[in-house]
Structure 1
């Protein structure tokens, strides 16, 4: 009897928590477009959620708990939230990600605000879905360090709170890696940020931007050529074309040109094996999208990130090599870094110092509302212990 009451108490507590988080986030469905922040696509919940993984309040809550839980990592020190911190616009302040045993990766941790709109995940687009992206860091030795997904599942199955949560969320006594990915991605899809000063200005509030921001917007749309990649579409103001481009950042690595030349001189038959070989060499990660697509014109190309909240997420670029937005603007004003595969949109801009300052000021006007996400009690206890 006591065991039954305890189990019932766990169920009630989980459902109550789920309802609370659901109410504090955005509702889902055709009638809920008004819950999407100003400036974001009104059809978000209709067209950016996969049919095979519909949003539910319970799933979002389970995903929140998993997102903050360091027990998913091999040594219990790293959670998704370690690199994607709510207080830093769901990014961190390190040049590259730092995982278990303080191991350093090769890529900067991107913000996952508005990640629902990405058509590919990671800097090189190696995952097509958010569901897949959510579970790959678990088995990356430089991130969460688990040997296999089975190791993660075994730990979750040994925790009564998760056994109950998965049962209540999915309606069956099953915990597997697909359901883990479904839950985490459902939570991540609620991390929407809009209603920036620019959004308010475009909605009719003509005092939402100051003079410097207005001048910066003119540079952004005009001489700065920023909208060639960071698009401003009236109905989808996402500030990214979601393409992969070589802007020359990778070319600054001392090994890049040597690696790139090997690929350009290889035959089509030789490419797959050569890509695999070069990927593990120093500087191999700088080959970017090419490591996934095996297309020679993807050498050194990386995902075009959204610029929403960009002022909150230094350092910048896929390798975290730019400390400030002023550094980023200076890099592009100089035309990027010339290399064998530089994007044709890149060339010196000739912006004045004032234009560069105004452009940086305008980028600050893309800072929007921040989701208020509470850490689960279990994560807070774990943090105090560490």
Structure 2
């Protein structure tokens, strides 16, 4: 009796009408198995070749290789900052950065709120830090990370101003920009219109243009290092153990010029932040993937695709993910300002006053833009490098993990009742951390904020998990083969 697998298949009838050779089902199965094996072998060969010579892969093949292996089919050479010994000025700046004696309390330094072990951000999950002469004064915003600021341009409004030695009148620029429609921000695509928005600068509101100016801010802030006058700072600098280094670098006469002493001290801090590689290491898994030295998992790769998808997460619309044309690694920010409408954080002591509002660019901590109300509620877009290491998020520290952050982006417009509190009447208090007259400043044009109430959210829960998996690849300290 014939085996069932030997049952005859319909005979092939050639053109002459005579039956062709009879093919058994077993023969067909052998053919299919060998064909599949051949395809798998071919894919293995292609993938192996792609790993050795990725630059030779056609785009279509490169995409397949990327999906299968997690390797970057088009690796690049990243132009990292030069790694060199710190200059004498930077070494002086490092001592100043860690010197607690420069504070009124004698217990606080720059490093107190900018821990090297936590990507130069706070080492705790407090929404704001404590400071002041007795370390009992609460701040107003969580200190941002000091990493990846070395390429930050001075504050400006409108398209890239380029390098200029001419002082910029911000009020005039703001007035000129007031009638220009805001550009829609789309991942991996150039804006269709000039991006007439604030950009550049340091702090959440951009009020400092250089690392030197930024460094002096906390020294004089009454809720931070709390020195009453510049003379107080100068007097403390004159009592430091590194005063001789000041004299050697800047000349002995500097001790007789308090304002110059402070200026040079803060210049030294800025040089430390610029020269020390730990402030811009570019040693994340994503950096090595860009260079073809690491592979992304399926979840990380899918997260990257969603991150760059202009219709989904659209994260790259603000957090630029591509290297520059000359090979500079991406710093994951366009350094522009956005009004996102994040919910009010009741844990901040200042927010106990219902009349207090932190409105970013137009106040209360900078006073040169208070009349430019079209920018009220706008805050600097921070870098996403090392974002998975942070303990609080946004300018008011309202969220404490990336899932909460992604839910905000996904549900702010489609299901605001899941994001904002309700008032006594049960009405959802949308944009409750910004006065009602400025709600029109909040971004509702860019994905995923372009969804309406009741619409399907842009991302599924699995999408969000994959995006978070990708963002974890942006943490420095990854050990790649050959790195």
Distance 2:239 2:390 in 1: 37
The SS at the match of 1:252 is: coil
Distance 1:283 1:64 in 2: 40
Q: 1:117 to 1:285 in 2, by over 3 A?
A: farther
Q: 1:40 to 1:111 in 2, by over 3 A?
A: farther
- Which residue of the partner structure matches residue 169 of structure 1? 249
Contact 1:334 1:347 in 2 (8 A): no
Q: 1:214 to 1:43 in 2, by over 3 A?
A: closer
CA drift at 1:44: 4.9
1:355 aligns with 2:387: no
Matches within 5 A, 1:182-193: 182-189=267-274, 190=276, 191-193=279-281
Distance 2:270 2:129 in 1: 20
The SS at the match of 2:441 is: coil
Q: 1:41 to 1:171 in 2, by over 3 A?
A: farther
Q: Larger Cα Rg: Structure 1 or Structure 2?
A: 2
Aligned residues: 298
User: Which of the pair is proportionally richer in helix?
Assistant: 1
Distance 1:305 1:253 in 2: 19
Q: Which of 1 and 2 has higher RCO (CA within 8 Å, sep 6+)?
A: 1
Contiguous gaps of at least 5 residues in structure 1: 1-37, 46-54, 255-278, 371-386
Cα RMSD, aligned residues only? 2.7
Distance 1:213 1:42 in 2: 24
Distance 1:40 1:306 in 2: 21
Contiguous gaps of at least 5 residues in structure 2: 1-74, 154-200, 256-260, 414-429, 432-438, 452-456, 479-483
1:108 aligns with 2:188: no
Q: 1:214 aligns with which of 301, 305, 309?
A: 301
Q: Normalising to structure 2: TM-score of the pair?
A: 0.58
Distance 2:471 2:282 in 1: 14
- Which residue of the partner structure matches residue 127 of structure 1? 208
CA displacement, residues 222-281 of structure 1 (integer Å, 9 cap, x when unaligned): 1101011111232241110001110112x5368xxxxxxxxxxxxxxxxxxxxxxxx9x7
Q: 2:440 aligns with which of 319, 327, 340?
A: 340
- Which residue of the partner structure matches residue 11 of structure 1? none
CA displacement, residues 72-98 of structure 1 (integer Å, 9 cap, x when unaligned): 101201100000011111111221122
- Which residue of the partner structure matches residue 360 of structure 2? 288
Q: 2:79 aligns with which of 42, 49, 52?
A: 42
The SS at the match of 1:358 is: helix
The SS at the match of 2:333 is: coil
Q: Normalising to structure 1: TM-score of the pair?
A: 0.71
CA displacement, residues 171-192 of structure 1 (integer Å, 9 cap, x when unaligned): 3441511111101111112221
- Which residue of the partner structure matches residue 364 of structure 1? 472
Distance 1:83 1:341 in 2: 31
The SS at the match of 2:249 is: helix
Q: 1:240 to 1:142 in 2, by over 3 A?
A: same
- Which residue of the partner structure matches residue 231 of structure 2? 150
CA displacement, residues 187-225 of structure 1 (integer Å, 9 cap, x when unaligned): 1122212121111111113x4311111111011011101
Matches within 5 A, 1:188-199: 188-189=273-274, 190=276, 191-199=279-287
Distance 1:224 1:91 in 2: 26
1:229 aligns with 2:318: yes
The SS at the match of 1:77 is: coil
Distance 1:99 1:226 in 2: 34
Distance 2:332 2:216 in 1: 27
